Amino acid sequence: MDNSNKKLTVAVIGGGGREYAIAKRISESERTGKLYVIPGNGGMDFAECVAITATDVEGVCAFCVKNDVDFVVVTPDDPLALGMVNALESRGIDCFGCTKESAIIEASKAFAKDFMKKYSIPTADYRIFDNAANALSYLEQTSYPTVIKADGLALGKGVIIASDKAQAVAAVHSIMEEKAFGNSGNTIVIEEFLEGAEISLLTLTDGKAVVCLPASMDHKKVFDGDEGLNTGGMGAVAPNPYFTPDVQKECLEKIVFPTVEGMKKEGRTFVGCLYFGLMLTAKGVKVIEYNCRFGDPETQAVLPLVKGDLLEFFLCVREGKLADCNIEFENKFCCCVCMTSGGYPQAYKKGYEIDIPDDVAPFVCIAGAKKAEGKLLTAGGRVLNVLAVADTLDKAVETAYQRTREIHFENAYYRKDIGQRALNKLKRS
Ligand code: AMP
Ligand code: GLY
């Protein structure tokens, strides 16, 4: 791609709220000409949605070649792990996103654990098993609660926290023998249960420089008070008040830089967005997981705090010029509340009409929705993300909920306590 200021034809891969937030920002860039989202969703009026699934690497490549796409932002984990960036780049199309070789940091938890051990990056103690009998015999001697993780990608569901041996045995049977997560469970990690506040840290890196975006706090459980099943995320706030300057320093020294350096030494230089799922334990900050991509819904809460032209930043990452890129942040807070279809993350009904008042619409990222006969209908578990930015977290939370209450669809469900843990922390400090 030449570096002149010509308008670029850009494609964003994915179709959820995270892709809505990223693509919307890209649509506002001076550099953006034509914008495609593949497959996108029914709410993305600012782009042309193309009905190719995000995991169809050959289909996406053929479309991008045919339509002279200059730059592709590959957002979700599966296409990254499948090598979509490798495939597009080999056809001469520049991308934001990591290669298949780097995506292994998320796509194999066994790789990630051994990598952290090799580079002395703090994480929970662990054992890896590729045989159910050995795993079951280890469960006789370990302490509880314990954490059992399918090695591969499992739509965020491959982690089971077992409070006793019976639950752990059931988890091993379900993952390794009944193949609840398919081949992702051929290998499992059994690890120490950690306690503490969680921090999601999204970073941009070109393999040399690293820019930390404002840290955020996800809310993974479906019910208030962190009860019930794990979900993809029920809401997020940023910045995360647990990410103090001291914690940030510790994270950069012990986790972020060693990870970026280590990946380089492994011949897997990471270029793109590297997400650190961290836990602030009594023994310091530890890595819970790496993701090779932006988080959802963290991205929706973080991007409103990032000033400037997101496409320019992505181009800097691709060109290895992140060190020259001046990225500044708003000194504000953002709250993101996810409105879901009642029943999610288990069975739920869809096809209900969504009513969003005009004055609220600019603050909504549409995730699981489709258009039919001019109407916006629910079409997924996480339907909408409602945002508010304010000078205080209190105000951001209050405004996000005011907006949420003005949006209606049948069977809508959302947590009522997004941001409370962060607010309590701020009140204590
Ligand atoms: P992951 O898919 O690896 O992000 O895990 C999902 C969630 O499970 C995390 O956000 C944590 O809340 C929890 N979790 C994962 N690993 C551990 C651990 N070792 N100790 C306690 N909780 C964990
Ligand atoms: N919200 C957690 C994730 O995107 O993995």
C-alpha to C-alpha distance for 353 and 160, rounded to whole angstroms: 35
Atom from ligand 1 closest to the CA of residue 191: 19
C-alpha to C-alpha distance for 300 and 200, rounded to whole angstroms: 13
Predicted local confidence at residue 429, as pLDDT:
81
Separation of first and last alpha carbons in the chain:
49
Cβ–ligand 2 distance for 289 under 6 Å, the answer: no
Which of 279, 291, 338, 365 to mutate to test ligand 2, by most ligand atoms within 8 A of the CB atom? 291
Question: Whose CA is closest to 229, among 296, 161, 168, 298?
Answer: 161
C-alpha to C-alpha distance for 54 and 281, rounded to whole angstroms: 36
Residue 91: pLDDT over 70: yes
Residue 273: pLDDT over 90: yes
Predicted local confidence at residue 158, as pLDDT:
86
Average pLDDT over residues 157-184: 92
Average pLDDT over residues 401-412: 98
| Buried-exposed string 143-180: b where 16+ CB fall within 10 A, e elsewhere | eeebbbbbbbbbebbbbbebeeeebbbebbebbbeeeb
pLDDT band at 3 (very low <50, low <70, confident <90, very high): low
User: Which region among 177-191, 203-217, 292-306 has the lowest average model confidence (pLDDT)?
Assistant: 177-191
pLDDT band at 4 (very low <50, low <70, confident <90, very high): low
Residue 1: pLDDT over 70: no
C-alpha to C-alpha distance for 26 and 42, rounded to whole angstroms: 18
Average pLDDT over residues 75-94: 98
C-alpha to C-alpha distance for 399 and 334, rounded to whole angstroms: 10
Predicted local confidence at residue 109, as pLDDT:
95
Which residue's C-alpha comes closest to atom 4 of ligand 2?
Answer: 295
Q: Which protein residues are within 6 Å of ligand 1, measured from CB?
A: 124, 147, 156, 159, 161, 191-194, 198, 220, 230, 277, 288-289
Ligand nearest to the CA of 147: 1
Rg of the chain on CA atoms, in Å = 21
Cβ–ligand 2 distance for 291 under 6 Å, the answer: yes
Residue 59 CA to chain centroid, in angstroms? 24
Which residue's C-alpha comes closest to atom 2 of ligand 2?
Answer: 295
C-alpha to C-alpha distance for 367 and 351, rounded to whole angstroms: 14
Residues 232-248 have pLDDT tens digits of 899 999 999 999 999 99
Q: Which residues touch 158 (CB under 8 Å, ≥6 apart)?
A: 149, 150, 152, 175, 181, 184, 185
Atom from ligand 1 closest to the CA of residue 291: 4
Q: CB neighbours (10 Å) of residue 391?
A: 11
C-alpha to C-alpha distance for 364 and 400, rounded to whole angstroms: 10
Residue 281: pLDDT over 90: yes
Cβ–ligand 2 distance for 76 under 6 Å, the answer: no
Residues 311-360 have pLDDT tens digits of 999 999 999 999 999 999 999 999 999 999 999 999 999 999 999 999 99
The conformational region for residue 97 under phi > 0 = left, psi -120 to 50 = alpha, else beta, is: left
Residues 144-169 have pLDDT tens digits of 999 999 999 987 778 999 999 999 99
Atom from ligand 1 closest to the CA of residue 195: 21
Residue 2: pLDDT over 90: no
pLDDT band at 65 (very low <50, low <70, confident <90, very high): very high
Task: Compute the mean pLDDT over every residue in the chain, rounded to the nearest whole number.
Answer: 96
Predicted local confidence at residue 379, as pLDDT:
97
Characterize the bridge pairing of strands 197-205 and 71-74.
unpaired
> How far is the centre of ligand 2, averaged over its atoms, from the C-alpha of 155 (Å)?
10
Predicted local confidence at residue 63, as pLDDT:
98
C-alpha to C-alpha distance for 160 and 244, rounded to whole angstroms: 30
SS (H, E, C) the chain: CCCCCCCEEEEEEECCHHHHHHHHHHHCCCCEEEEEEEECCCCCCCCEECCCCCCCHHHHHHHHHHCCCCEEEECCHHHHHCCHHHHHHHCCCEEECCCHHHHHHHHCHHHHHHHHHHCCCCECCEEEECCHHHHHHHHCCCCCCEEEEECCCCCCCCEEEECCHHHHHHHHHHHHHCCCCHHHHCCEEEEECCCCEEEEEEEEECCCCEEECCCEEECCEEEHHHEEEECCCCEEEECCCCCCHHHHHHHHHHHHHHHHHHHHHCCCCCCEEEEEEEEEECCEEEEEEEECCCCCCHHHHHHHHECCCHHHHHHHHHHCCHHHCCCCECCCEEEEEEEEECCCCCCCCCCCECECCCCCHHHEEECCEEEECCEEEECCCEEEEEEEEECCHHHHHHHHHHHHHCCECCCEECCCCCCHHHHHHHHHC
Question: Whose CA is closest to 323, among 244, 404, 207, 165?
Answer: 207
